Structure 1
Amino acid sequence: MITGIGVVAPRGIGVKNFWETLTSGRSATRNITAFDATGFRSRIAAECDFLPTEHGLTQEQAARMSRSSQFAHVAAREALAQSGLEVTERVAARTGVALGSAVGSVRELDRLYREISGDGASWELAPEKAGPYLADYNTPSSLVREIAWLTGAQGPAAMISAGCTSGLDAVGYACEILREGSADVMITGATDAPITPITVACFDAIKATSPHNDDPEHASRPFDRDRDGFVLGEGGAVFVLETAEHAHARGAHVIAEVAAFAARCNAHHMTALRPDGREMAAAIDSALTTARIAPEAIDYINAHGSGTKQNDRHETAAYKRSLGDAARRTPVSSIKSVIGHSLGAIGSIELAACALAIEHGVIPPTANLHTPDPDCDLDYVPLVAREQRVDVALSVGSGFGGFQSAAVLVKEGAHR
């Protein structure tokens, strides 16, 4: 059971601002300000206007934590406050942490490497210039440690890094920990701050990101005929996840229930996807079977919707393959059109969007979808949010290496 949500996203720090941004249908993409992007093929991203000390972190915490850790810290604090959970000594022993991230503290590693190598000019490094936190930044599990320190959690702890499905996979892992009885509460979600020269260069090299630099706000165009790649984003989302017994015993408000999670890998290619959507469909089929939910019961699909031609067509085929006739009657949207693609964090941010769609009865739109691709011929909720009751939401993720994940969220008591 999800009893608390915290979000840090572009133009959406805090759940309220995040939801208003999504439902507005206006993209947060702009020219990169985090560094001088002159000379890069893609010079745009969806950045968070985030100063850690303005969001409750001390100067010492801001100096110690990577930007990814800062996002997770602020989101976890909001989720805990919303849940009303008091982490007493007894609760702490049965509370765990599972976080996802694709690139961890890459922003800080990028910056410190430049400092200790003379901006990359020398193989002879000067580690004394790195400061005291380089080892932390090089260790992705430091993200988990920070959240355990914040919450006092003393139960199972894990770092999940599976590329762009990390945010879904971390929540799926947390659910398994709860189901096996190793914990009563899991603080879970994902965080990433990938807007750095090295990350931008990586995606430039394979031409995966949009070069639509002259009009950043309209660059992210999932399922549109004229799309030309995804737009990087950053942020994080954290959930307080509890067993039903624990949540009900303390009278917690349940925002949504994670009914099922499933993952598959295509063992096919590092970046290529089969056009028939077979691997994503397999993950969807497995999740629906576990949840005992029929395809026609799905009220909303939060798409991976990256805005690459390959992914969007693969995904459309997967829905048709898995859901059959119900695929054409089910609203689908991509929030990456609004907040970009924050790599490992996006799966958790998209789950937050699903939970809020259930809570508010509103489906966020796909921004910038003006001319649909004829091969993407489903109901992709273009431009404008749609009021509709949502009892069951499906969220999917797709990552380099062939990773495919799917999660089903339901309104408490619905379709069970």
Structure 2
Amino acid sequence: MTRPTRRVVITGLGVRAPGGAGKKQFWDLLSSGRTATRRISFFDPSPYRSQVAGECDFDPVHEGLTARQIRRMDRSAQFAVVCAREAAADSGIEFEELDPHRTGVSLGSAVAAATSLEREYLVLSDGGRQWQVDPDYLSPHMFDYLTPGAAAAEVAWAVGAEGPTAMVSDGCTSGLDALGHACRLIQEGSADVMVAGAADTPVTPIVVACFDAIKATTPRNDDPGRASRPFDRTRNGFVLAEGAAMFVLEEYGHARRRGAHIYGEISGYATRLNAYHMTGLKTDGREMAEAIRAALDESRTDTDAIDYINAHGSGTKQNDRHETAAFKRSLGDHAYRVPVSSIKSMVGHSLGAIGSIEIAACALAIDQGVVPPTANLHEPDPECDLDYVPLTAREMRVDTVLSVGSGFGGFQSAMVLRRAEGAVA
């Protein structure tokens, strides 16, 4: 595989995740091994099988959004805009001085405006009592809720980007795939700067009911803080969550010329589909392994050079075994030597957003020299026999990170993030 000649680096990031606002609180949570999952408070969860979630304490007024923005934008779009602003400020870049046609946006989401769509349906149908809805009660912003790309446009307006703008929706790999799309645009020369990442706010009754129906989420309601247990023998489903992470991506030379702090270089990315089953995974991990190999090939990175793997680690039995097999298949003996962890054990699974949130964790692991742990891993599954960094973070130099994602529909994605040579500390 020919490696692209234009290199892509991360120079700014913004995060909203359960347990804290901003990258400092996010990293403090992860590096301490604390969990932020709790009993659902947004609505009465008692009728549902799974009653726990990773909720964000998000106040849009405190975050600087106007009353009009709050009314117009779905909660997920609000998350994306706030994180984009934070990433822009973190990067130190002056967007008004950029060529707007060379600046773009790539936003990922799995369920987009699910929060607002459910709310509006309840209003239109009088709480579900009316089969024929009354259009007189229709929100003037319903089009924005029905059109996922509206959130990407909101981010573009927030930063003044007039270049390539897109919404990427590949289920739970959306956060990785949106970043991968942004990288391709910079690599091919269509943009110099991209604001990219993902946002999802799926903690709503309809989404909770959907995952209840297929028994994908955990029923461990008596212990919310320890409900997410990736790679543990006692795991029994993932914990639904919300969140967002956005990044400023730049062409390497562009970042170097302005003396930017570089968190890391996205040196390889690949995605595959198993063409097998909507929710099922083959036990051999072949499709994820192929995505990993392709990402490593593009990165020109040997398997032995990987210092840390940020796992998908959802906490479902089939996923944890599937990706354990994929690591062994793609990395060989090195799979047994490299530390692997899942931050979903601490912040839950925010569907399309989690891939970007995990890349934020990877960038900070490189920046801080710490591998975050897998919380709640007290009884390792014998079939998951790798080094999953149980309970406690590990201080070590991290130069190269592999992050993977797996999504309903059979999507399998992998991304390589590494310390950029010559980066400004």
Band the TM-score falls in, shorter-chain normalisation: over 0.9
Is residue 124–residue 137 contact of structure 2 (8 Å, CA) maintained in 1?
Answer: yes
Aligned to 1:133: 141
| Separation in structure 2 between the aligned mates of residue 339 and residue 9 of structure 1, nearest angstrom | 7
> Is the Cα contact below 8 Å between 2:310 and 2:401 reproduced in 1?
yes
Does residue 1:51 correspond to 2:96, yes or no?
Answer: no
Q: TM-score, normalised by structure 2?
A: 0.96
Post-superposition shift, 1:218?
A: 0.5
Give the whole-Å Cα distance in 1 for the aligned partners of 2:67 and 2:346. Answer: 31
Residue 158 of structure 1 aligns to a residue whose secondary structure is strand
Report the alpha carbon displacement of residue 376 of structure 1 after superposing the two structures with TM: 0.3
Residue 147 in structure 1 maps to residue 155 in structure 2: yes
Deviation of 1:12 after TM superposition, in Å, equals 2.2
Q: Output aligned runs, 1:87-102, within 5 Å.
A: 87-88=95-96, 90-102=98-110
1:293 matches 2:301: yes
Distance 1:338 1:317 in 2: 23
Is residue 114 from structure 1 mapped to residue 122 from structure 2 by the alignment?
Answer: yes
Tell me which amino acid in the other structure corresponds to 1:124.
Q
Distance in 2 between residues matched to 1:173 and 1:6, nearest whole Å: 19
Query: For residues 264 and 136 of structure 2, what CA distance do their matches in structure 1 show?
Result: 49
2:297, 2:353 → 1: CA distance? 26
What amino acid maps onto 1:228 in structure 2? N
Q: Pick from 18, 23, 36 the counterpart of residue 26 of structure 2.
A: 18
Report whether the alignment pairs 1:105 with 2:113: yes
Q: Which amino acid in structure 2 is aligned with residue 391 of structure 1?
A: D
Q: Is the 8 A contact 2:314 2:349 kept in 1?
A: yes
What is the CA distance between 1:56 and its match in structure 2? 1.2
Distance in 2 between residues matched to 1:237 and 1:126, nearest whole Å: 37
The yes-or-no answer on 1:221 pairing with 2:242 is no
Alignment counterpart, residue 65 of structure 1, candidates 60, 67, 73: 73
Question: In structure 1, what residue type is equivalent to 2:411?
Answer: F
Q: Deviations over 1:164-214 (max 9, x none)?
A: 000000000000000010000000000000000110000000000000001
CA distance in 2, matches of 1:357, 1:12: 18
SS of structure 1 residue aligned to 2:62: helix
Rounded Cα–Cα distance in structure 1 between residues aligned with 2:384 and 2:114: 34
Equivalent residue, structure 2, for 1:33: 41
Deviation at 1:89, TM superposition (A): 5.3
The runs of at least 4 aligned residues of structure 1 exceeding 6 Å deviation read none
Mapped to 2, the partners of 1:60 and 1:291 lie a distance apart of 44
Q: Counterpart of 2:95 in structure 1: which amino acid?
A: V
Q: Could you tell me how far apart the structure 1 residues matched to 2:336 and 2:353 are?
A: 29
Q: Tell me how many residue pairs correspond in the alignment.
A: 414
Residue in structure 1 matching 2:263, options 243, 252, 255: 255
Give the counterpart letter for 2:389 in structure 1.
Answer: V
Q: Does 1:230 align with 2:233?
A: no
Give the secondary-structure state (helix, strand or coil) at the position aligned to 1:370: coil
Distance (whole Å) between structure 2 residues aligned to residue 250 and residue 127 of structure 1: 53
Residues 144-223 of structure 1 aligned to structure 2 (within 5 Å): 144-223=152-231
Deviation at 1:90, TM superposition (A): 4.2
Of residues 67-76 and 57-66 in structure 1, the stretch that sits farther from structure 2 once superposed is 57-66
Q: Tell me if the contact between 1:174 and 1:186 (Cα under 8 Å) persists in the aligned partners.
A: yes
Q: Distance in 2 between matches of 1:27 and 1:357?
A: 18
Match of 2:324 among 307, 316, 324: 316
- The counterpart of 1:302, out of the listed 290, 296, 310, is 310
Task: Verify the 8 A CA contact 1:264 1:282 in the aligned structure 2.
Answer: yes
Question: Unmatched 5+ residue regions in structure 1?
Answer: none
Measure, in 1, the Cα distance between the counterparts of 2:330 and 2:79. 35
Task: Give the letter for the 2:222 counterpart.
Answer: D
CA distance in 1, matches of 2:22, 2:70: 18
CA contact (8 A) 1:12 1:19 kept: no
CA distance in 2, matches of 1:413, 1:42: 46
1:275 corresponds in structure 2 to: 283
Q: What's the CA shift string for 1:218-265, capped at 9, x where partnerless?
A: 100000000000000101000000001211121111111000100000
Partner residue of 1:401 out of 390, 394, 409: 409
Read off the aligned partner of 1:383 and give its amino acid letter: L
Q: Please give the alpha-carbon distance, in whole angstroms, between the structure 1 residues aligned to 2:82 and 2:19.
A: 15
CA distance in structure 1 between the partners assigned to 2:46 and 2:409 by the alignment: 30
Determine whether 1:326 maps to 2:334.
Answer: yes
Q: Is the 8 A contact 1:192 1:342 kept in 2?
A: yes
Pairing partner for 2:418 from 398, 403, 410 = 410
Q: Is the 8 A contact 1:3 1:241 kept in 2?
A: yes
Any conservation in 2 of the 1:192–1:345 contact (CA below 8 Å)?
yes
**Equivalent residue in structure 2 for 1:369, among 377, 400, 409:** 377
Say if 2:19 and 2:35, in contact at 8 Å, map to a contact too.
Answer: no
The equivalent position to 2:89 in structure 1, one of 81, 91, 94, is 81
Higher mean alpha-carbon deviation, 142-151 vs 89-98, is at: 89-98
**Counterparts of 1:200 and 1:24, CA distance in 2:** 29
Deviation at 1:299, TM superposition (A): 0.3
Q: CA–CA distance in 2 between the matches of 1:167 and 1:96?
A: 16
392-401 vs 24-33, greater mean Cα deviation = 24-33
| Structure 1 residue 273 displacement after superposition | 0.4
In 2, Cα distance between equivalents of 1:52 and 1:130: 23
User: Once the 2 structures are TM-superposed, how far is the Cα of residue 314 of structure 1 from its aligned partner?
Assistant: 0.4
For residue 199 of structure 2, give the secondary structure of its aligned residue in structure 1: strand
